[in-house]
Structure formats: structure tokens, C-alpha cells
Amino acid sequence: MKKIIFPKPLKKGAKIAVISPAGAVDASQLEKGIEMIKNRGFEPVIGEHLYSKFSNGYSYAGTEEERLKDMNWALNDNEISAIWASRGGYGCQHLVQHLKLKKFTENPKWYIGYSDNTVIQSYLLNKGFASIHGQTIKTSSFGVTDESYDMIFDVLKGKMPKYALKSHAFNKQGNIEGELVGGNLALIYALLGTKYSFDFRNKILFIEDIGENFYALDRMIMSLELAGVFGKIKGLIVGGMTNMGDEKENKSYEESFDEFAYKLISERISKYKFPVVFGFPNGHIKDNRPLIIGGNVKLQVKDKVKIEF
């Protein structure tokens, strides 16, 4: 089994690159997050095309060439100690064939993001590098808890997360340990059958999503089933399922854990014996706590749930 490399903890004053690998952002949407990096004692370094815009059926943060330039700069500049995506959206798949890691392998750094950034994180893990599946610099319409950011900075400083959760009716009990893979379900699904897909064998899989009709959610879960994913993994963690089904705006944080979406998933995996956790606080939700993609997880699912890296 390949040994996963964890970047070194950041020291005070370390430089954090802020880039936009996918959807477009306005400066006003990032002001709070960039100021937060400064207030934590680090130096934000703005990508050349952070605020660029390019419309081609979607509002991208620049052309593919512009976004790729910023990504490869951030990955390979030895002065940069971590890379924080401004947002997700769509566009990371454009870049993945052209990523360069020559200097990155000599000086690995944390990559932070979620949603569409799952593509980059799968790529990095296939190369043997861990990353942080956590909140982007742009805060969502439903906001972000202070703790969500606090815990990302903890990881950057070398402190791995631990979680204790209340039980969920759909949970399946068990006690296992393994490497964590996954992220946004739509992107896990989109990468199936490509060389950029996660390796699922003997892994613990995490999934979350937003804005999918229930039939689309079922189609993605069925694709994982048909690809043999559920026969390979040793555990499953299900995070936020937000604005699912009729896609009406959620009225509360708790509704981000869509019960009908959970029921669909639970039914599809009912024949498997691995432990399952529903309601993990990560995804397109206000309380978006970080997970380490590539991290070794101890997972205990009983009357209560314990997750420890």
C-alpha cells in the first residue's frame, strides 16, 4: 500500500496561495476570507487570475489556460506553503490532465477546498498526497461557522481532527480503520472509469452533494454500485445533502441532512455489511468541518460515533 505524504505544518508568516480553479468570484466575496488568513498570522498570495471571468456556458474564473496557469504556479512555487481554493462550481476537470507536480513533490503543500475541488484532491491522492476537504475562501449563502475555519487552521498547524457525533437512524454499526477517500458525489461519479478516479479498495468513502434531484442522486449511487465501489470499500460516511429533490432553498441548517436522500442511499447499500455514518458535518452546509482526504481514519459506529485521524 502506497504511503500517503502529509505536508509539513505551516509556520507563522507562511504564504497561502488563493486561486480560482473553477467558477468565477467577485472580490467582495473573498474579502472576509482573505482577511481571516492575515488575522491568523499567514500571508495570502493572490493568484494572477483569481478574479478573472470567462463565459462559455458557465461563468468560469478565466479561460482554461488562465486557471491552469494559476494552479500550476501555486502547486510548484517553493514560497507557497498551502493552496486555498476560492470556491468550487465547475471547471477543475479542465485542468487535471495538465497539472505539473515537479516542485510540488519536493515541497508538498496542503490543498484546501471541496465541491468541484474533489477532482484536484483525487488527482493529488493518486500521486500519494493528502489534502483538506473543507470550506473554501468564499462563504456560501448559508454562511460558515467559525469552527469550520478554526479546524482547517488547526490542520495547517499539524493538529488532526477528531469528531464525536450523535447516532443516526440509518447508521450501521462497526469498528474499522482505513484511508479516507471521496468528496462531492457528483465528481466522484464523473471520474468513474477514468485514471483520475479514486482507488476505492479497502478505503472509507465520504460523499456529500447539493442541488440534485432524487433520481439523479439515485443514478449516481447506482453507478457506484455498478462500478463495484460498494463491494470494495470498508466503510461509508455521508455528509450534507443540501437542496435535494425539488431544490427549494433550505430553511435551516438541519435540513441540509436531507432525510429522503439519506433513505435512498441507505436502501441502495442495505445489502452491504460495512459501517455507515449519516449526518457528518461536511459539505455544502453551514457547519462544514474538515476531513483529510488520504488520512487514516479510525471509525467507531455504536450508540455514538467517533471519527479520529
Domains, the chain, in order of start with CATH, read 15-156 (3.40.50.10740), 162-308 (3.50.30.60)
Are the C-beta atoms of residues 34 and 102 closer than 8 Å to each other? no
Q: Which residue(s) pair with 54 in the sheet?
A: 60
What pLDDT score does 2 carry?
78
Burial of 36-63, coded b for 16+ CB within 10 Å and e otherwise, reads bbeebebebbbbebbbbbbeeeeebbbe
Cell of 92: 477543475
Question: What is the chain's percent helix, strand, coil content, to nearest 5?
Answer: 30, 25, 40
Is the backbone of residue 255 left (phi > 0), alpha (psi -120 to 50) or beta?
A: alpha
Question: Which stretches in the chain have pLDDT values below 50?
Answer: 250-251, 253
User: Which pLDDT tens digit goes with each residue over 170-212?
Assistant: 999 999 999 999 999 999 999 999 999 999 999 999 999 999 9
Torsion over CA: 93, 95, 99, 104 (sign): negative
Whole-number pLDDT of residue 210: 95
pTM, full prediction: 0.96
pLDDT computed for residue 140 by the predictor: 74
For the annotated catalytic residues, the residue numbers are 115, 208, 284
Among the listed residues 98, 83, 203, the one whose alpha carbon sits nearest the alpha carbon of residue 132? 83
> Which pLDDT score, from 0 to 100, does residue 69 have?
98
**According to the model, what pLDDT value does residue 248 have?**
56
